[in-house]
Amino acid sequence: MSRIILSGGSNFRPDHTFDCGQCFRWDREEDGSYTGIAGRKIARIYGSDERIIIESPDRTADRVFWENYLDLNRDYGKIRDYLGKRDTVIREAMEFGRGIRLLNQDKWETLISFIISANNNIPRIKKNINMLAEMFGKPAGGFRGREFYELPEPEVLAQLTEKDLAPIRLGYRAPYLIKTAKMVADDGCCIREDRLRGYVGVGPKVASCISLFAFDNVDSFPIDTWVKQVMNKLYGIDKKDTEAMKKLAEDKFSPYGGIAQQYLFYFIREKS
DNA sequence: CGGCAGGCGGTTA
DNA sequence: TAACCGCCTGCC
């Protein structure tokens, strides 16, 4: 077991960061800390702002990895000032959700997680992903009385049949996963941003999420039902006019559309 | 209670 | 544009 302390300036809160819908493998504990797994690294994270504590079962926690994962090298104060000056709604949302950071997640993990997320809700998405890892992934070690598993590699998932996946109850998403795994495995497991839409089960919204969460594209602006609600209620845009939403995001939030999206998402969800 | 619509952080055909 | 798997919610 090891412990390191990192700093996120005055802008990190684990609750806001892990509960804004960008990740599915972290769980809140009684004491408000979060335990989970990213790739093959397990940790418990608590504290905030200048004092973020990472507890890990490893002999030494990987400082560089966690700093990058938690996006601690980006100046969120500067971004908040920049966006806040241009728009009052985002200013309020960023005050409300202060401490949200965009996680830098694994590409393969993000790809399959968001295929599963389609037309689905967070508790069920988490359950599906955990079961997938437990049934077909490598053990990653035990921590805090629990065993953790990596998600199965593309080659492993590519070999499975819909019958194998049946107990997970993925519904119509199961064939999407297998087909996408085959494509990725055939491609030497290289996932290219310019080909995201070519994977089965990846439409505009999911592609936009992967681009934002795994390819460091902070201007990517995923439009889901919650963002549509924000756009309708707070900006008066017609619920079906996604083009107008894209344009507003471009005008008001560029080049930080994705960061704005996270704060707006958290804002509307917590308020409703 | 118990059965049955309606909805869910979209994509496909 | 509707159908889609499965599960949870609210309604009657």
pLDDT digits (tens, 9 = 90+) for A242-265: 999 999 999 999 999 999 999 999
What's the whole-number mean pLDDT along residues A26-47? 96
Q: Is the predicted pLDDT of residue A272 greater than 80, yes or no?
A: no
**CA atom of A264 to C1′ atom of C11, Å:** 32
Which of A75-79, A225-229, A232-236 shows the highest mean pLDDT?
A75-79
Amino acid residing at A266: Y
Contact in structure between A26 and A34 (CB atoms under 8 Å): yes
Question: Nearest 5°: phi and psi at A71?
Answer: 60, 40
Nearest partner of A209 among A132, A265, A153, A141, judged by Cα: A265
Average of per-residue pLDDT across A142-147: 95
State mean pLDDT over A229-249: 92
pLDDT at site A84: 97
A121 touches strand B (CB under 7 A): yes
User: Where are the strands (E) in chain A, listed by range?
Assistant: 2-6, 26-28, 34-38, 41-48, 51-56, 139-143, 146-149
Q: Which of A205, A233, A246, A252 is catalytic?
A: A205
Structure confidence at residue A169 (pLDDT): 93
A207 touches strand B (CB under 7 A): yes
| Mean pLDDT, chain A, integer | 95
Decide: A75 and A160 in contact? Cβ < 8 Å: no
pLDDT band of residue A172 (cuts 50, 70, 90) is: very high
CA A63 to CA A69: how far, in whole Å? 10
Digit-coded pLDDT (tens) for A53-65: 999 999 998 999 9
Nucleotide of closest approach to A180 (CA, C1'): B11
| Look-up of token digits 């953790």 | A148
Q: What is the pLDDT of residue A240?
A: 86
**pLDDT at residue A61 in the model:** 87
Beta strands across the sheet bearing A34-38: A2-6, A51-56, A41-48, A34-38, A26-28
Predicted TM-score (pTM) of this structure: 0.96
- A123: Cβ under 7 Å from strand C? yes
Q: Write out the H or E segment, with its range, that includes residue A214.
A: helix A204-214
Strand C: positions under 7 A of a protein C-beta atom: 4-8
**A104: nearest Cα among A221, A259, A267, A263:** A259
| CA nearest neighbour of A95 among A8, A7, A219, A11 | A11
Residue A205: active-site member = yes
The rounded percent of chain A whose pLDDT value lies above 90 is 90
Instruction: State the average pLDDT over residues A86-107.
Output: 96
